[in-house]
Amino acid sequence: MPSPEQLVHLLDPASTVLLTVECQQGVVGPGSALPELAREARSSGALANVARLVAAAHGSGMQVIHAVAERRPDGRGANRNARLFRAAERLPVQQLTGTTAVRVAPPIEVAEDDLVVRRLHGLSPLQGTDVDPLLRNLGCRTLVVTGVSANVAIPNAVFDAVNRGYTAVVPTDAVAGVPADYTPMMIRHTLALVATLVTTDEVLGALARPRRAAHG
């Protein structure tokens, strides 16, 4: 666990990007294709904490990227090489391009300066998408990973970030998965080995602290 001073330095808005993962209406909204996950994201407070982090990032000048998973109505280019993908094809709610399902879900607010990266394939917000080159062009050194799910996309994003040389920071109360007791176990036994674990309040405190406090 970093000290408050270390966290201020680590979360310098000039070199930090906040990533929200699949926080879209068709995943975490009231009409979710995955109602159990949507309920957990909301009842745990994770979605509300993502919204708090996004608002704080906007206030501090930190870049926000929203990673959205979607598919074309004809399914062209989508994966079918895993059970998860085949099951998703049969769900009553589809994450179709251009629909409400792939809009970032309230209470998260998307600002004009935010970047929204949409992918048609795979499990990762980084692998094979625009996210990694955007991070490099933005001068990112620290990536704050939030959203869903702790089962697949969140660990995938963290591993990909670390493999690409970024420092991954995970606010543990701003991610969710199912069942509820799986998320803390995955965080403790997997993400703790490769990411800096913090709370939403610790991130907010670091962003609110004067930058000069990092050195004084």
pLDDT score at 130: 97
Tell me the mean pLDDT in the region 192-214: 89
Q: Which two tokens stand for residue 63?
A: 């870049």
CA dihedral 89, 75, 84, 191 (to 10 degrees): -140
3-state secondary structure of 198: strand
Q: Which pTM does this prediction carry? A: 0.95
pLDDT-based confidence at 90, cuts 50/70/90?
Answer: confident
Summarised one tens digit per residue, pLDDT across range 2-55 is: 898 999 999 999 999 999 999 999 999 998 999 999 999 999 999 999 999 999
Give residue 103's Cα distance to chain centre.
14
Sign of CA dihedral 4, 193, 50, 57: positive
Q: For residues 142 and 165, give the distance between their C-alpha atoms in angstroms, rounded to a whole number.
A: 9
Q: Which two tokens stand for residue 65?
A: 């990227």
Contact 37, 31 (CB under 8 A): no
Summarised one tens digit per residue, pLDDT across range 122-141 is: 999 999 999 999 999 999 99
